[in-house]
Amino acid sequence: MKASLIEDEEIRLALLRGYNILDTAPDEGFDDITKLAAEICEVPIALISLVDDKRQWFKSKVGLSIEGSQIDDSMCAHAIAADDYLEIFDTAADPRTAGNGFVTGPDQIRFYAGALLEDDNKLPLGTLCVLGKEPRQLSDFQRRALKVLAVQVMRQIELRKALADAEVLRKEVDHRVKNSLQSLEALIRIQVRKEKSPEARAALDSVQGRLATISQLHEALYLTDSGAAVDIAAFLKKVAHSTSEQMPDGVQIEINLEQANLSSRSASSVGMIVNEAMTNAAKYAYQGRKRGAFNLSGESRDGFYHLSCIDDGPGIPDTDPSGTGLGMRILTAAAQQLGGEMTLPHRERGGEIKVIWPIID
């Protein structure tokens, strides 16, 4: 017998579909609850059943191999119609389930108990249910446990939706910030073309480069599927490509970066380091030359990430790395934000800015 569902059925169905859980992959968190329900209730079959308009779909299952069934064979639909916990001691003797395919077919289900999966407004998505092949009754303890586990299933569903909603919001924010920063970059480029003072043009170029770094960070966050973690290799390649526009045309840029995930804040600091290193090289390393080389490399070693920015210019003067210029202060501050250290290793030819920081999983 097909169950007649609740008066607010359209609202219930909209709620169910709004959770975006139908036809999703198996989830260990749900499977653990289903297994526990089967063990506590001492039955061979336990299901997390979500009841749609024409079918029921099993988010998690123990003892059955099928993914779901037509709504006509859904015992869980009767639980929703009853608007409460439902226990059928003998499914073959109950008129609601006597003709059910799970009862008359090869599964030969003779017992059913289902606790509703309800939201805060008491609208049910489905049930956490247990089934057996012999008529029986659950003990009071087993009934209470099944209801408690159903509440935990619903909390898991709501938590996953909250995380998904937060991810959508985060991506939207990153997308809008990126667009706003790119608009500001465009305005600065227009001002650079109008500006006659070389010093002012250089200052605006520097600001534009820093904005580009932050914009690319937000683009990386928007495109990634790993939350607020950024693939540092892919991100720095974009930073280097953008900043390379400040380099003379004949400068060859070589990039060799090992992949590592960083938080958005750490990635911002690393991006600033690369931007400042390349900007500094563009100003001082290739004066009077049409050709040159710049190498950006990074690798994970012994729990630390080693990043090197090397040019083939006259070298960096032997000064205190803390320096007095804005660029050097930015480099030092960025390294400190990473919990790392910046050094200027001596080289026979060229200049190197090296930053080492701990990798935190």
> Each residue's pLDDT tens digit in the chain (361 positions)?
555 566 688 888 998 998 889 999 999 999 999 999 999 999 999 999 999 989 999 999 999 999 999 999 999 999 998 877 999 999 999 999 999 999 999 999 999 999 999 988 888 999 999 999 999 999 999 999 999 999 999 999 988 887 776 656 555 655 565 565 566 666 656 666 666 676 666 665 666 665 665 665 555 554 454 455 778 888 888 888 877 877 888 899 999 999 988 877 788 788 888 888 888 888 888 888 888 999 999 999 988 999 999 999 988 776 544 444 667 777 888 888 888 999 999 888 899 999 999 987 5
In the sheet that holds 86-88, the strands lie side by side as 68-70, 55-62, 45-51, 124-132, 111-118, 86-88
Domains plus CATH for the chain? Answer: 9-161 (3.30.450.40), 230-361 (3.30.565.10)
Structure tokens at 340: 């790392």
Residues in CB range of 139: below 8 A, 6 or more apart? none
Q: What is the sign of the dihedral through the CA atoms of 19, 22, 24 and 29?
A: positive
Residue 267 has which token pair?
């990635």
d(CA 93, CA 321): 85
**Strand 229-231 to 86-88 pairing:** unpaired
278: which residues sit within 8 A by CB, 6+ positions away? Answer: 240, 243, 244, 246, 247, 294, 296, 309
CB–CB of 77/102 below 8 Å?
no
Q: What is the pLDDT of residue 320?
A: 44
Q: What is the pLDDT of residue 359?
A: 84
CA atoms within 13 Å, Cβ hemisphere of 355 = 26
What residues contact 169, with CB distance under 8 A and at least 6 apart? none
CB atoms within 10 A of CB 314: 13
Could you tell me whether strands 229-231 and 251-257 are parallel, antiparallel, or unpaired per DSSP bridges? unpaired
Rounded alpha-carbon distances, angstroms, from residue 316 to 67, 156, 334, 355: 66, 56, 19, 15
- Provide the b/e sequence for 322-353 (b: ≥16 CB within 10 Å): ebeeebbebbbebbebbebebebeeeeebbbb
Residue type, 62: V
Q: What is the CA radius of gyration of the chain?
A: 31
59 in Cβ contact with 30 (< 8 Å) = yes
Q: Which amino acid is residue 44, in one-letter code? A: P
φ, ψ of residue 12 to 5 degrees: the values are -60, -45
